Amino acid sequence: MKEDKIFHPRANKYLRTEMLPTAFCPGCGCGTVLNGFLQALDELKLDPKELVFVTGIGCSSWIPSPYFKGDTLHTTHGRPIAFATGVKVMKPDMKVIVIAGDGDIAGIGGNHLIHAARRNIDISVFMVNNWNYGMTGGQVSPTTPFGVRTGTTPYGSAEHQLEAAEVVAAAGANYVARWTTYHVFPMVKAMQEALRVKGFSFVEIIAQCPVSYGKMVKMRRGSDFLKLYKEKSVKVEKARQMSDEELEGKIVVGKLKERKRTEFVSTLRQINERFRQELAN
Amino acid sequence: MITINEELCKGCEICTDFCPKKVLASSNTINKKGYYLPAATHKDKCTGCRLCELMCPELAILISKE
Amino acid sequence: MGDEAAAYGALYAGCNFFAGYPITPASEIAEVMARELPRSDGYYVQMEDEISSISAIIGAVWAGGKAMTATSGPGFSLMQENIGYAIMTETPCVLVNVQRSGPSTGQATKPAQGDVLQARWGTHGDHEIIALSPSSVQETFSLTIEAFNLSEKYRTLVILLMDGEIGHLRENITFPPLEEITLQERKTGPADAPSFGGAAVPPMSTFGQGRFVHVTGSTHKENGMRDVSTQSVHQELVTRLCGKIRDARGEIWRIEEDYMPGAKVGVLTYGATARPAKGAVLEARRQGTAVDFLRLISIWPFPEEAVRKLADRVDVILVPEMNLGQISREVERFTSKPVLPISRIGGVIHRVEEIKDEIIANG
């Protein structure tokens, strides 16, 4: 597509516009996350030359790759946070950003998520949670709600949803938030806060998959999901006053954790600095 | 001003469903890919809140000052 | 010990990033790297597993680093997918595999050479691989530097295929003066030069240069952008990736040969096994049997020319190795003469006598 047809000025700055329109299905939440992230970068006035996008395999991994300008490492399934760790250690002055899905980040790559949060390495992870493996046609994922029929749970899922954001908060990250694609303004704000935080930051974005997941729950329009998100969402402040039973089936949104633990790479750099000083003396 | 990029739109109707003032509505105009485009039928009611611009999964809507 | 020599070889080669996960008999490599890297302003990161270890080193290389990881059999199995990623994305890096007895946990503390074919074919899809196998602690040091140089020269992952015997062997070694060590520089190019085509080994742009480098394990065009539907794009890419190593195999091959006139039997060996094999050859000669000796230093690409030459000279080739016959199968591809494996598994290296007896029996 020719550049003059892309009329978002921020799109020209941050996107590989020749790759548009996106490859996402109509009404896909990945596009809204892309849109919101573009807005977040633009408001923060970040230079695309200072951004490294690291991504995995799945629909939402296509948000940064190929659409965002910036150095991009499109890795194997589940491993973007591990690849990003090597990038961040060697390029601490660049913003290292992981955008990938629930299957990638919470499923196959769940252990990398926990340990990166524990190290509190200065990486921002945006987990686009569409409650299923969408690219492969709609199979149960670690975040699929209990009881839902999917391609691989034809009699209803017997598993419970992983609350990834709560896990990351417990693991030691400096910033954790959850929003949905219905909450675009707070979502953009959370993205900005995550990008500003020094340390591991994690934003879980519940995002609709009206095609692969939608066909199984008979919600075939993006808006069907956005209405559900609106109805089921509970602000974290209110959720803290609620019982587990009351919270069943609810989506807790807001800033779940903010702390100021020492960041991993800066500690490594301090250790090296000590050696430099010893050598100088 | 509401600008709709007809080439990018995939007709998902999120903008028409969620516009708080019902400025946008589905139209009978079809783009090259066969998607029904939204139309700003009540431009006068637009408050410029940019909800449609940010919710659009295709970057197909831009709200700008006149 | 061999493990320490691999670590020091890496440091002499300019390695400034190491990610790893403890495993016997390779942990000592990680320990030396963790201790020494900060002195040269490098970084050690202990990851949560071997998959993340190889992931992190690939990330570090794209961020401009020179990186290595080290493991043993079980960890090597876990790394297979991302070995393919490093090959596909043309990421220069070094993987040390200090082989131990398998399958599975096997004899965790005992040496073996059971991963020779996994090193060649472990990752999925068509590919070529470079693997070097040292027979002494001194050679471990120099081959680690070679591994880094080859990885840069051909922009690919290189495996240092050690065995636990060498990894834990203690020998004195000499560190050469720094000025005597030649290092292969990373091939760089102008901003508009494609990073993934246009030459057998394209120049490499790394992150932070403002070039918006796009790296993907998917089939990609010369500019790095994904194209997974065009047949010719995949064919050209994978053919070039294989060709850049296959066509350069003559430059990559490293062997040690010791031939004598009238030999009817040849011994072909590698790694730790080369030590008793060499002893057996010398002893057999002392007892009057003419025997040829060929040691493979580069295992992959397979030094087929040297193997053919040996096969032309002798009537039978003996292949002592610490597995049930892996390299011996490869030797069979290049000769119709008898190839007799002398296998030894169970974590105990061959004795000189058993190889010598086979030489004399076949000589």
Condensed to tens digits (0 to 9), the pLDDT of residues A57-68 reads: 999 999 999 999
What's the confidence (pLDDT) of residue A3?
A: 41
Distance CA A159, CA A143 (A): 9
Q: Check whether C347 has a pLDDT greater than 90.
A: yes
Secondary structure (DSSP) of chain A: --GGG---HHHHHHB-GGGPSPSSPTT-HHHHHHHHHHHHHHHHT--GGGEEEEE-SSGGGGTTTTTB-SEEEE-STT-HHHHHHHHHHH-TTSEEEEEEEHIIIIIITHHHHHHHHHHT-SEEEEEEE-SSBTTTT-B--TTSPTT--BTTBTT---SPPP-HHHHHHHHT-SEEEEEETT-HHHHHHHHHHHHH-SS-EEEEEE---TTTTHHHHT--SHHHHHHHHHHHEEEHHHHTTS-HHHHTT-EEEEEEEE--PPPHHHHHHHHHHHHHHHHH-
C-alpha distance from A207 to closest chain C C-alpha (Å): 25
* CB contact set of A33 (below 8 Å; sequence gap of 6+): A60, A63, A99, A126, A128, A181, A187, A205, A207
Distance from the Cα of C81 to chain A's closest Cα (Å) equals 8
* Residue A154 reports pLDDT greater than 50: yes
CB of A228 within 8 Å of any CB in chain B?
Answer: no
Is residue A281 very low, low, confident or very high in pLDDT (cuts 50, 70, 90)? Answer: confident
- Please compute the mean of the pLDDT values over residues C127-134 and round it to a whole number: 98
Decide if pLDDT at A1 tops 70.
no
CB nearest C39 (choices: A54, A112, A275)? A275
CATH, domain range C257-362: 3.40.50.920
Complex ipTM: 0.97
**Structure-token pair, residue C8:** 């020091």
Mean pLDDT in residue range C305-318: 98
Judge whether C228 is closer than 8 Å to chain A, CB to CB.
Answer: no
Q: How confident is the model at residue B66 (pLDDT cuts 50, 70, 90)?
A: low
Q: Name which of A18, A85, A135, A269 to mutate to probe chain C: the one with the most chain C Cβ atoms within 10 A of its Cβ.
A: A85
Residue A44 has pLDDT above 90, yes or no: yes
Picking from A49, A76, A90, the nearest residue to C60 by CB comes out as: A90
Contact C55 A76 (CB under 8 A): yes
pLDDT at C172 over 90: yes
Q: Between chain B and chain C, are at least 3 CB pairs below 8 A?
A: no
Residue written as tokens 């990003």?
A84
CATH topology of domain C2-180: Rossmann fold (3.40.50)
Distances (CA, A) of C111 to A85, A215, C131, C273, C308: 32, 54, 18, 11, 29
For C280-305, what is the mean pLDDT? 98
pLDDT digit string, tens, across residues B37-52: 999 999 999 999 999 9
pLDDT at residue C325 is higher than 70: yes
Domain boundaries, chain C: 2-180, 257-362
Taking the CB of residue C360, how many other CB atoms lie within 10 A of it?
Answer: 16
**Which residues of chain A have a CB within 8 Å of the CB of B17?**
223, 226-227
Distances in whole angstroms, Cα of residue A2 to Cα of each of A19, A140, A249, C254, C259? 10, 39, 45, 53, 68
Say whether pLDDT at A6 is over 80.
no
The pLDDT tens digits for C78-117 are: 999 999 999 999 999 999 999 999 999 999 999 999 999 9
The answer to whether domain C2-180 and domain C257-362 are alike in fold is yes
- Closest-CA residue to A212 (of A202, A201, A225): A225
Test A82 with C225 for CB contact under 8 angstroms: no
With CA atoms as reference, report the closest residue to C284 among C225, C362, C222. Answer: C362
Confidence class for position B65, pLDDT limits 50, 70, 90? confident
Q: How confident is the model at residue A279 (pLDDT cuts 50, 70, 90)?
A: confident
What domain count does chain A have? Answer: 1
- Domain coverage including residue B54: 2-63
Q: Percent of chain A beyond pLDDT 90?
A: 95
Task: State how far the Cα of C48 lies from the Cα of C46, in Å rounded to an integer.
Answer: 7
Containing structural domain, residue A182? 3-280
pLDDT (average), residues A179-201: 98
Domain CATH for B44: 3.30.70.20
pLDDT in tens, C50-63: 999 999 999 999 99
Q: How far apart are CA C295 and CA C268, in angstroms?
A: 6
Q: A32 vs B17: CB contact, 8 Å cut-off? A: no
3-state secondary structure C208-251: CCCCCCEEECCCECCCCCECCCCHHHHHHHHHHHHHHHHCCHHH
Q: Compute the average pLDDT of residues A88-95.
A: 98
Question: Choosing among C33, C37, C48, which should be mutated to test the A contact, i.e. which has the most A CBs within 10 A?
Answer: C48
Give A12-26 pLDDT, tens digit per residue.
999 999 999 999 999
Using CA atoms, how far apart are residues B24 and C357, in angstroms rounded to an integer? Answer: 91
* Mean pLDDT within C328-347: 97
Look up residue C184 and give its DSSP letter. Answer: P
Cβ-Cβ contacts under 8 Å, B58 against chain A: 21-22, 24, 31
> Does the beta-carbon distance from C67 to A86 stay under 8 Å?
yes
Query: Is A131 in contact with A106 (CB distance < 8 Å)?
Result: no
Closest CA to C167 of C262, C250, C101: C101
* Residue A146's CATH number: 3.40.50.970
Chain A residues touching residue B53 (CB < 8 angstroms): 35
**pLDDT value of residue A2:** 42
Report the pLDDT value the prediction gives residue A8, as an integer from 0 to 100.
84
Yes or no: say if C170 and C1 are a contact pair by the CB < 8 Å rule: yes
Average pLDDT of every residue of chain C:
98
Q: How far apart are CA A169 and CA B55, in angstroms?
A: 27
Encoded tokens for C305: 């020319």
| Cα three-residue angle C7-C9-C10, rounded to 5 degrees | 65
Tell me the mean pLDDT in the region C241-246: 98
Average model confidence (pLDDT) for chain B?
A: 95
Cα separation, A206 vs C253, whole angstroms: 54
- Give the model's pLDDT for residue C210: 96
Domain count, chain B: 1
The backbone torsions φ and ψ at residue A241, rounded to the nearest 5 degrees and listed phi first, read -95, 0
SS3 category, C286: helix
